[in-house]
């Protein structure tokens, strides 16, 4: 069952189209990722989902509600961590969490949430004195303190060090395990590949691909790269004829073949039959980074 439905979303700023016909559905209990270059329309899309911006045209439903017309019900089911947020400079992290919890009908234990996010030692610190990473963790906690059914996280781990980033990933996995649906905007490929069940790639305001991380990787032209130094000469045409081989190049005595796992198996069989040894053999699988670069272009800042 889809808990977020976006159909034919358009949003322009003057003459420039920020979002141009975006459609997708997010299933209950999944982590749905949105990737794309800076200015591709990612934040505008999720701000329309959150009800912070009005679409020019298109239809959006969050748990069956219109985010603009049904503002009250949407705020009770949806939590959000925005790309850019501020609080009053003198409010402490603990005061902010306590205040937000007091506004929610069924809040989470904000002290336990603060401990899970490494904020316990900062609860008495004024917002203006928090580091960038501490502020980011606080905003994630504020998004979750209301026990939302759906949470939107825009640039979830920006400003966090590698350890804090991985701790946050584990938290989000725990959140999803509890039944919360997550809409995640990120530019970290490792984050998207680890967390997301499905990913929409947005470029220039349009979705260019929508699939699972592994499905997107399978689409990339990079495929599997096989490189080695053969102990004897190999015919380039014979290598190019290997199953699923896309390209064969040579450089400084090294052969590089782009193909698939099928290409690897066929190459090993060929080398064995010819009695040729593959020195310094390396087989590198394509990554989500490769898929991202293949499937998106460059956007303009929004």
Give pLDDT, residue 221.
Answer: 59
- Residues 113, 181 within the same domain: yes
Task: Give burial (CB, 10 Å; 0-12/13-18/19+) of 16.
Answer: exposed
Burial (CB count <10 Å: 0-12, 13-18, 19+), residue 117: buried
pLDDT of res. 297: 52
Q: Do residues 162 and 144 both lie within one domain? A: yes
If asked whether residues 36 and 116 sit together in one domain, one would say yes
Range(s) of the domain holding residue 274: 221-285
Note the pLDDT of residue 160. Answer: 81
pLDDT value for 300: 37
64 within 8 A of 224, measured Cβ to Cβ: no
Q: Are residues 117 and 252 in the same domain?
A: no
The Cβ-side half-sphere exposure at 49, using a 13 Å CA radius, reads: 35
Could you tell me if 233 and 191 lie in one domain? Answer: no
DSSP annotation string for 4-61: EEEEEEEEEETTEEEEEEEEEEEETT-EEEEE--TTSSHHHHHHHHHTSS--SEEEEE
Torsion of CA 123, 86, 140, 58, to 10 degrees: 160
**According to the model, what pLDDT value does residue 298 have?**
45
Q: Are 89 and 208 members of one domain?
A: yes
> Each residue of 137-164: pLDDT tens digit?
899 999 999 999 999 999 888 878 888 8
Structure pTM? 0.80
The domain that holds 270 is classified in CATH as 3.30.70.980
Residue 157: inside a domain:
yes
The overall longest dimension of the chain from CA atoms, in Å, is: 75
Q: What is the pLDDT of residues 162-221, one digit of tens each?
A: 888 888 898 899 889 989 999 999 988 889 999 999 999 999 999 999 999 988 887 775
N-terminal to C-terminal alpha carbon distance within the chain: 32
User: Is residue 203 located within the same domain as residue 240?
Assistant: no
Distance CA 207, CA 109 (A): 38
> In this structure, what CATH number is given to the domain that contains residue 143?
3.40.50.300
Token pair of 210, please?
């929508």
Q: Is residue 293 one of the residues assigned to a domain?
A: no
Integer CA distances (angstroms), 253 to 83, 235, 247, in order: 49, 13, 16
Task: Note whether residue 299 is domain-resident.
Answer: no
Q: Work out how many domains the chain is built from and give that number.
A: 2
Which stretches of the chain drop beneath a pLDDT of 50? 298-302
Tell whether 136 and 260 lie within a shared domain: no
Q: Is residue 20 part of a domain?
A: yes
| Whether residue 244 sits in one domain with residue 141 | no
Is 229 in the same domain as 94? Answer: no
Asked whether residue 294 is assigned to any structural domain, the reply reads no
């Amino acid at each position: 069952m889809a808990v977020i439905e976006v159909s034919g979303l358009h949003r322009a700023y003057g003459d420039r189209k920020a979002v141009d016909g975006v459609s997708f559905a997010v299933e209950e209990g999944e982590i749905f990722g949105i990737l794309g270059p800076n200015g591709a329309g990612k934040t505008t899309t999720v701000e329309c989902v959150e009800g912070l911006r009005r679409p020019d045209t298109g239809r959006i439903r969050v748990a069956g509600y219109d985010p603009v017309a049904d503002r009250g019900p949407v705020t009770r089911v949806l939590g959000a961590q925005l790309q850019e947020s501020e609080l009053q400079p003198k409010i402490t992290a603990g005061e902010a969490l306590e205040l937000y919890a007091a506004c929610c009908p069924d809040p989470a234990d904000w002290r336990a949430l603060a401990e899970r996010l490494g904020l316990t030692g900062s609860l008495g610190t004024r917002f203006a004195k928090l580091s960038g990473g501490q502020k980011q963790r606080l905003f994630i906690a504020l998004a979750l303190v209301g026990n939302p059914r759906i949470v939107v996280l825009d640039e979830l781990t920006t400003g966090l060090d590698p350890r804090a980033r991985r701790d946050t990933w584990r938290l989000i996995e725990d959140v999803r395990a509890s039944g919360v649906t997550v809409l995640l905007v990120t530019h970290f490929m490792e984050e998207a590949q680890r967390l997301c069940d499905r990913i929409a790639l947005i470029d220039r305001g349009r979705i260019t691909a929508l699939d699972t991380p592994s499905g997107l990787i399978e689409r990339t032209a990079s495929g599997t790269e096989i490189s080695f130094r053969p102990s004897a000469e190999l015919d380039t045409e014979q290598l190019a004829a290997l199953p699923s081989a896309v390209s064969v190049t040579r450089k400084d005595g090294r052969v590089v073949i782009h193909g698939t796992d099928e290409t690897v198996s066929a190459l090993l069989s060929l080398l064995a039959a010819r009695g040729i040894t593959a020195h310094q053999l390396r087989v590198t699988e394509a990554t989500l980074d490769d898929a991202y670069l293949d499937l998106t272009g460059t956007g303009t800042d929004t």
